[in-house]
């Protein structure tokens, strides 16, 4: 494996930039190729077969860019398609489910974890399986929160509107027994709502809740796989990112808030 080859990252659209942000912090010397399937977003409302088909297309595009590894930043794609992608790919594939599951288990004191994500991610029960594979005794409560995606994209991350949506979802989750002590953000968009979710969860639930964003855990896992496969690049900084999308609409403008830095040179591709 060419250690100077880029790392491929794909998502259904812009949300995966929250994962890329953590990757850039953890691995500043690596080059990345980011693919956002903005023409076919959202994945969270689609069937398993459709998400698997789209994810295969994304993998094939990244293979053509000669990447040394593929990071499936999209939770819905990881939840539905990771086994199929792993079988097909000649290079290592890292998803977000297992690192997120591990991180949530680490934080939970009472072994009760709430997983919030898209309808697809929750329906797949992938997080439940991943958590139970590592810690069978943990109680897992999956809760779809589909409205958080448009809120994050439109910049509604605080104020009356997001507060009432958060109250709607977390209020219902708090009424389910047993109450959770750890809230895992199992969607690329939810880190933008981190402060609000953390604050409101601690106000709504009876006991303190730890809110877990898995992006850092994913970046650590990527770093571990690079070490294990001896494919990390020697450079310590100065890595570049090439951005590809399947539809150009507002990617740079919205994406900046997800990545935390300006984005330029985005290319539109047919995959
Ligand atoms: N990227 C998706 C995820 O993390 C959220 C947006 C979508 O539904 O495509 O599940």
155 & 171 share domain:
yes
Q: Side by side, which strands form the sheet with 182-185?
A: 139-144, 112-117, 182-185, 210-213
Does residue 2 form part of some domain? no
Same domain, 118 and 73: no
Q: How confident is the model at residue 249 (pLDDT cuts 50, 70, 90)?
A: confident
Residue 234 Cα to ligand 1 midpoint, Å, equals: 33
Q: Take atom 7 of ligand 1 and give the residue whose Cα is closest.
A: 42
> Residues 15-52: pLDDT tens digits?
999 999 999 999 999 999 999 999 999 999 999 999 99
Q: pLDDT tens digits, residue range 176-234?
A: 999 999 999 999 999 999 999 999 999 999 999 999 999 999 999 999 999 999 999 99
Residues in Cβ contact with 33 at an 8 Å cutoff, skipping those fewer than 6 apart? 6, 7, 8, 9, 62, 65, 67, 241, 242, 244
CA distance 195 to 68: 35
Asked whether residue 107 falls in the same domain as residue 91, the answer is no
Q: What is the pLDDT of residue 109?
A: 97
Nearest CA to ligand 1 atom 2: 74
Ligand 1 surroundings by CB, under 6 angstroms:
11-13, 15, 41-44, 74-76, 117-118, 121, 149, 187-189
Quick one: average pLDDT of 130-148?
A: 98
CATH number for the domain that contains residue 223 = 3.40.50.1860
- How high is the pLDDT of residue 53? 98
Per residue in 140-190, pLDDT (tens digit) is 999 999 999 999 999 999 999 999 999 999 999 999 999 999 999 999 999
Last-in-domain residue among 213, 235, 255:
213
Q: Using alpha carbons only, give the angle 38, 40, 45 rounded to the nearest 5 degrees.
A: 115
**Residue 1 pLDDT > 90, yes or no?**
no
Mutate to test the pocket of ligand 1, among 9, 13, 100 (most ligand atoms within 8 A of CB): 13
Asked if residue 69 is part of any domain, the answer here is yes
- In contact, 246 and 38? CB cutoff 8 Å: yes
* Structural domain count of the chain: 2
Residue 124: its pLDDT value, please?
A: 98
Q: Quick one: average pLDDT of 248-266?
A: 94
- The CA distances from residue 215 to 1, 88, 120, in Å, are 25, 24, 19
Choose one of 16, 50, 76, 115 to mutate for the ligand 1 pocket test, by most ligand atoms within 8 angstroms of C-beta. 76
Give the C-alpha distances (Å, rounded to integers) separating 209 from 182, 200, 230.
Answer: 5, 10, 38
Q: Does 210 sit behind a cis peptide bond, omega within 30 degrees of 0 on the bond before it?
A: no
Q: How far is the CA of 238 from the centre of ligand 1 (A)?
A: 29
Residues 195 and 235 in one domain: no
Tokens of residue 108, six digits = 């939970």
> What is the tally of helices (H) and strands (E) in the chain?
11, 10
Judge if 184 and 113 occupy the same domain: yes
Active-site positions read 74, 187
Same-domain status, 178 and 142: yes
d(C-alpha 179, C-alpha 141), whole Å = 9
Residue 44 CA to ligand 1 center (angstroms) comes to 5
Span 131-136, average pLDDT? 98
Burial group, residue 55, by CB count within 10 angstroms (0-12, 13-18, 19+): buried
For range 62-73, the mean pLDDT: 98
Does residue 23 fall inside a structural domain?
yes
Please give the model's pTM, rounded to 2 decimal places.
Answer: 0.97
Q: Which atom of ligand 1 is nearest to the CA of 11?
A: 1
| Ligand 1 center to 51 CA (angstroms) | 10
What local confidence, expressed as pLDDT, does residue 138 receive? Answer: 98
Domain that holds residue 148: 97-213
Rounded CA gap, 13 and 46, in Å? 14
């Amino acid at each position: 494996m060419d250690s100077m080859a880029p790392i491929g990252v794909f998502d259904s659209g812009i949300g995966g930039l929250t994962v890329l942000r953590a990757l850039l912090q953890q691995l500043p010397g690596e080059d990345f190729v980011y693919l956002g399937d903005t023409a076919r977003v959202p994945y969270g409302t689609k069937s398993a077969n459709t998400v698997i088909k789209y994810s295969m297309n994304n993998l094939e595009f990244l293979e053509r860019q000669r990447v040394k590894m593929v990071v499936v930043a999209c939770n819905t794609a990881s939840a539905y398609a990771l086994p199929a992608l792993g079988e097909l790919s000649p290079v290592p594939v890292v998803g977000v489910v297992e690192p997120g599951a591990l991180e949530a288990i680490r934080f939970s004191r009472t072994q009760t974890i709430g997983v919030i994500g898209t309808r697809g991610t929750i329906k797949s029960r992938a997080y439940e399986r991943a958590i139970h594979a590592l810690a069978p005794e943990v109680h897992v409560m999956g809760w779809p929160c589909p409205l958080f995606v448009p809120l994050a994209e439109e910049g509604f991350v605080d104020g009356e509107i997001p507060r009432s949506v958060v109250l709607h979802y977390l209020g219902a989750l708090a009424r389910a027994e047993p109450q959770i002590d750890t809230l895992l953000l199992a969607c690329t968009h939810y880190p933008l709502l981190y402060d609000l979710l953390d604050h409101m969860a601690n106000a709504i639930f009876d006991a303190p809740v730890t809110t877990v964003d898995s992006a850092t855990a994913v970046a650590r896992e990527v770093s571990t796989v690079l070490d294990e496969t001896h494919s990390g690049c020697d450079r310590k900084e100065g890595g570049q990112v090439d951005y590809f999308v399947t539809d150009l609409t507002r990617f740079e403008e919205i994406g900046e808030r997800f990545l935390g830095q300006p984005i330029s040179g985005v290319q539109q591709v047919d995959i």
